[in-house]
Amino acid sequence: MVQLPTFIFLLIAFISSENIALAFDYFNREIDYWNKREALKTKPNQHKAEKKRSEKEKFNWSKYKDPKNDEFFEEGDYKPPKPFMEVARNPSDENIKNWFAIIEAKNTLMNRLQTKLAEYISQNHNKLTVEEKEEIQNEINKLQGTSNDPYRFRFRLYFDSSCPHCKNMVKTMKEIQDQGYFVELRQIDEKKPNFPVPFPVSIATKDELTDKKISAWPVLFIADSKTKQIYRLDGYQTAEKIYQSLAKKG
């Protein structure tokens, strides 16, 4: 099999091998993403009583309560990129501009790599086996749809606290947010989720669920600020499938 340079696989590690186009439903009623966001409902934290610890054994909460510390952003073994932590701590115009410049540079790099891989197949058409061509073409397909405009699309996910597909979809939304997109979550019920939810959450009203015709979940709405369309996507999806579908919509 053809051995592609290691850096290629590092660049596309976050891209799934699946390249399945998804169908979107268009809704007449738009989600009002462009006005003020609704106030978030908060729930009191519930903690079980713990035995008194000695001073040396006490957990250092201060490191995790202060956004100035990197530990504030940690989720298990995962820590977001430092540029993201900086713009989250200080969302100034300059920092936001620099954050989007990073996203644009990554997209440019992905497009360039996609072009070079296609050129490689063309230039070595007679030298490559069918299997090698298929392998490289698969890598090209993985790169499609990764250059969406973070300014253009905004995401709203409806989820349930005990839904296993919702749990996976929340992970997808985290990936999308890490790429610079605006993401918000609406919870179907009012129970504490049995999985990590690294987002502020508001509770969806019954009228809202009826209006949006939501009877199963997860449900994702994507607002396109360019076309003023709202796209709906039902069920669990990977970030790669969502990006590929948005790319097909132009």
Looking up residue 157, the CATH number of its domain turns out to be 3.40.30.10
Domain hosting residue 240, numbered range:
25-39+148-248
Residue 80 belongs to some domain of the structure: no
| Ramachandran quadrant class, 136 (left: phi over 0; alpha: psi -120 to 50; beta: rest) | alpha
How many domains does the chain fold into? Answer: 1
Residue 186 belongs to some domain of the structure: yes
Residue 164 belongs to some domain of the structure: yes
Q: What angle do CA 244, 150, 187 make, to 5 degrees?
A: 85
Residue with tokens 């790319």: 247
**How do residues 37-47 score in pLDDT, each as one tens digit?**
333 343 444 34
Residue 171 belongs to some domain of the structure: yes
Residue 191 belongs to some domain of the structure: yes
Residues with pLDDT less than 70, the chain = 1-57, 75-78, 141-149, 250
Residue 53 belongs to some domain of the structure: no
Range 232-236 contact pairs with CB under 8 angstroms and sequence separation of 24 or more? 232/24, 232/25, 232/26, 232/27, 233/22, 233/24, 235/165, 236/165, 236/166, 236/168, 236/169, 236/172
pLDDT of res. 163: 94
Residue 16 belongs to some domain of the structure: no
Phi, psi of 45 (to 5 degrees): -75, 140
pLDDT of res. 31: 54
